[in-house]
A = this chain, B = another copy of it.
């Protein structure tokens, strides 16, 4: 339920077309819909500006379909994250407006894309080619939430001049997302060059003492630049969501 749907309901009450009892039931019903294995939080687009997102991992395709059925009637945009190709195919077949991105492992259902809003542009940078899936998850999330997004990939610190060739992107961004694995040094270097907030996303790219992304994570939390915030390992979705929240607040 977004603000439009709510306003229509209330106007309908004001004009006597919907009884107060009916409206009350609808509102309560919509706030939290219990479908046995999930409590859908329809209230969230009102409270938080964007509907609940479906975390695909550990859910059966039946559970995901059941949750989507309830949501598509209420929401313009529905996101499913961390979903493999096999499950995604079943979902995109059922819902024409849903599309799957293989790299980012996301399904995006849009009645029509949200209008671009927010104060500026969200810039997304990846340190290496292997970090692209995470970076792309951030791009797609921020885009689906109605933000302008620019990106540049594979500009890690071992050849720092590659980054300097993209000064424009650094300067024009309202908020930057930087995805990096291995030693995770890129967010520090980027944040030292800019004024805006930088969201660092550690990735699980690497081996040995990269420790599945822990080393990048800890490095980013220890950044000697102060305009850096960090999200969970490989959490491109969270980075995109947070960047949107910053860009639109």
Q: A-side interface residues toward B, CB under 8 Å?
A: 31-32, 36-39, 41, 43-44, 47-49, 52-53, 55, 57-59, 63, 82, 119-120, 127-130, 132, 153-162, 165, 174-175, 182-185, 188-189, 191-197, 199, 202, 204-235, 237-238, 241-242, 245-246, 249
Contacts and interface: CB of A to CB of B under 8 A. Distances in A.
Contacts of A216: 219, 222
A153 B242 CA distance: 25
B229 A222 contact: no
Contacts of A52: 159
Contacts of A212: 208
Contacts of A219: 183-185, 215-216, 218-219
A231 B232 contact: no
> A53, A183, A246: which has the most chain B beta carbons within 10 Å?
A183
Contact of A154 (B31, B38, B197, B246): B38
Contacts of A192: 48, 157-160
A129 B63 contact: yes
Given A219-B219, A224-B182, A196 B249 contact: yes
Contacts of A210: 218, 222, 232
Going nearest first, the 7 A-B pairs with the smallest beta carbon separation are: A208-B233, A229-B229, A185-B185, A58-B130, A183-B219, A215-B218, A226-B241
Given A158-B192, A161-B31, A241-B227, A232 B249 contact: no
A238 B36 CA distance: 24
Nearest to A53: B226
Nearest to A31: B161
Contacts of A41: 158-159, 162
A232 B222 contact: yes
Given A47-B193, A219-B215, A157 B242 contact: no
A38 B196 CA distance: 26
